[in-house]
Amino acid sequence: MDEQQQSSAEESKSNLNPLLIVVILIIVAAVGVMLWLGNSKNNTNQAANQVAPTTAPTQAEQPTGTATGSAADNKMTAEQTIAVEGGSFYFKPNVITVKKGQKVKIVFTNAGGMHNFTIDAFNVKSETINNGSTTVEFTPDKTGTFEFYCAVGNHRQMGMTGKLIVQ
């Protein structure tokens, strides 16, 4: 009987060792995942905290006038300057968001070919340039989504377009 009990005890030990190893691995993996998720959450919060101050309006961008609720009082005084690159049938960025009533300055830089920058809805058309940059300025007086495009040849039909969103 002693031999049977001894072999039975050895079998229990050999069955216990793989189970113990699996349990330890699961615990280590769970702790690792919790640490990783904790660090990801902290990194996300830190990134949000770093971005928030740069997106807050400056004193010059604050609405002027009193809080009477009229549209004229809500107009912004600061100029919005946006750099736009145009090249072989593209604009970068191809979506621009601006505020109604706030002056917009588009600095259009040509990356190759002959191009211009046109927005029919606001009667905006830059000079056609072969290289370098040109500037257009306008103040949007209506909200909505409007197309901008290159009016040279068939560039518009070839996809050299973008969207101006006025909020």
Look-up of token digits 């300057």: 81
Please tell me the distance from the alpha carbon of residue 99 to that of residue 83, in angstroms, as a whole number: 16
pTM for the predicted model, two decimal places = 0.54
Q: Write the pLDDT tens digit of every residue in 118-154.
A: 999 999 999 999 989 999 999 999 999 999 999 999 9
Please tell me the distance from the alpha carbon of residue 150 to that of residue 114, in angstroms, as a whole number: 9
Q: What is the pLDDT of residue 30?
A: 80
Domain coordinates in residue numbering, the chain: 1-56, 61-166
Q: Distances in Å between the alpha carbon of 111 and those of 11, 51, 84, 92, 124?
A: 76, 30, 10, 10, 20
Q: Write the pLDDT tens digit of every residue in 38-87.
A: 665 544 444 444 433 333 333 333 333 322 333 444 444 588 999 999 99
* Average pLDDT value for residue range 82-103: 95
Q: What is the pLDDT of residue 16?
A: 66
Q: What is the pLDDT of residue 58?
A: 37
Please tell me the distance from the alpha carbon of residue 163 to that of residue 167, in angstroms, as a whole number: 13
| Both structure tokens of 6 | 């001894």
Exposure pattern of 31-43 as b/e (b: 16+ CB <10 Å)? eeeeeeeeeeeee
* Average pLDDT value for residue range 27-36: 78
3-state secondary structure of 131: coil
CATH class of the domain whose range is 61-166: mainly beta
Q: Write the pLDDT tens digit of every residue in 2-27.
A: 566 655 555 555 566 888 888 888 88
Side chain identity, residue 10? E
58 versus 98: the higher-pLDDT residue is: 98
